[in-house]
Chain A
Amino acid sequence: MWDWHTAREGLPLILHGFGITLLATALGSLVAIVLGLVIAVLGRAPTRWVRLPLRAVVEFVRSTPVMIQLFAVWVLAPGLDPLTIGIVVLGLHYAMYTSEVYRAGIDAVPRGQWEAAVALSLPPIRTWWGVVLPQAVRKVIPALGNYVISMFKETPFLSVITVNEMVHEANQFGSDNFAYMEAFTIAAAIFLIASYPTSMLMRKLEKRLAH
């Protein structure tokens, strides 16, 4: 049922996949964190010709499965490196969530701050960059962190487009050696070991930033 020898044999392969998983999470989060901010700021554009189409795109991408989005882009963009597609699509999907997080953060900046920026006749760039965003972003860091953790746990979806991340490697090793028990148990353990301390950290950060 459980063979330590097999487990030891599979571990290096699965750990190698874990490296890809971490890379995809890091770069995917970067896309989500930057793009989400852009979407949130554009969401406050003065004209509804920007706001409404943006809202529609966010709603659509948010309510459809990331696995199908990955598949669709992969099939429709042949020749592109699967890992790149995975990072961009996963990042885009999560940008829809992070944009909502930023939006809440921006909404929570007191009105007086905006009015002060107007009174000082700061240009819009400085109003956003110097006044609003530093206050808005600080409060939402734990929420962003939680989405990074969620994304981390959704990276196995990349295996459907042949990215050799951790679960792909575990599956491969499992079927080659008929060692599914060892392979998937190791993968589960690695996920738990990596995500539990991170979510504890976010919880602590949340408490500290609350004051």
Chain B
Amino acid sequence: MSFLTAFVRSLPSIWDGIQITVLATLLGALLALVLSFVLGLAARSRHLLVRGLARAVVEFFRGTSLYVQLFWLFFALPILGFKLVPLACAVLAFGLNYGAYGSEVVRGALAAVPRAQWEATVALNMTPWQRMRKVILPQAWPQMIPPFNNLLIQLLKSTPLLSLITVSDITFQMDQLRSATGDTKAAYLVLLVIYFVLAYALTLCMNGLEALGKARLGQGRA
């Protein structure tokens, strides 16, 4: 059977694989985004304990390789009596690891908002929530997007790990096709191209978000 016919025949399962990969990427990114803000804000806390705790969590998850974290959640956690479905392990590992990296992005972007803006919010008697919501975040947000995009692409590139913990992601599906046809070159080339297209699509979305955020500030093309 030629590669092309086999490829067309297995399109439905390839599509399933793409959906799983995208799902894991988006859920992982969502968790990472939430953790980035929680840890990034905690790192600026007035209380030494909160700051120290945030620092420790960030350094721990940055320092101990995503690969090991994922395998720990998949192989070692069940020994403690918590068994997660494989996809949940992956989402958790992606979220924790990239959330730790993302918190540095949040911290940096908040620190880059001019001091006068912070002082003005205090002078106007805004509540801490109002300060963040109305003044600081709108200015910090567009600055966060390019580094967030880099992390998002890295997260996407980590998703072949799914296939190592029994999830039928796109890497698994293309590997099936490879062994069915024996055409290694074509199978891996297609797989790489699929990943390239996914990465490109994510970058376009993030560029759109950045333009939107900047337009809100009256910077750049509206």
Contacts and interface: CB of A to CB of B under 8 A. Distances in A.
Contacts of A154: 65, 67
Interface in B181-222: 184-185, 188, 191-192, 195-196, 199-200, 203
Contacts of B128: none
A192 interface: yes
Given A76-B184, A184-B71, A156 B65 contact: yes
**Contact residue range for chain A?**
35 or more
Nearest to A192: B63
Contacts of B164: 160
Q: Determine which residue in B64, B161, B199 has the highest number of CB atoms from chain A within 10 A of its CB, and name it.
A: B64
Interface residues of B, number: 35
Interface string A156-186: 1100100000010011001000001101110
A119 interface: no
B171 A174 contact: no
Contact of B67 (A64, A75, A156, A174): A156
A69 B189 CA distance: 10
B196 A71 contact: no
Given A63-B157, A66-B157, A68-B191, A188 B184 contact: no
A188 B69 contact: yes
A15 B164 CA distance: 23
A122 interface: no
A162 B52 CA distance: 39
Nearest to B163: A67
Contacts of A180: 71-72, 75-76, 79
A192 B195 contact: no
B159 interface: yes
Contacts of B75: 171, 174, 180, 184
Interface in B152-178: 153, 156-161, 164, 171
A1 interface: yes
Contact of A191 (B64, B158, B196): B64
Contacts of B60: 192
Interface string A181-211: 1011101110110011001000000000000
A157 B68 CA distance: 10
Contacts of B203: 63
A191 B65 contact: yes
Contacts of A69: 192
Contacts of A63: 153, 157, 195-196, 199-200, 203
B64 A60 contact: no
A75 B184 contact: yes
Interface of A: 1, 60, 63-69, 71-72, 75-76, 153-154, 156-157, 160, 167, 170-171, 174, 180-181, 183-185, 187-189, 191-192, 195-196, 199
Q: Which 4 A-B residue pairings sit nearest by Cβ, starting from the closest?
A: A63-B199, A156-B67, A180-B75, A72-B188
Interface of B: 59-60, 62-69, 71-72, 75-76, 79-80, 153, 156-161, 164, 171, 184-185, 188, 191-192, 195-196, 199-200, 203
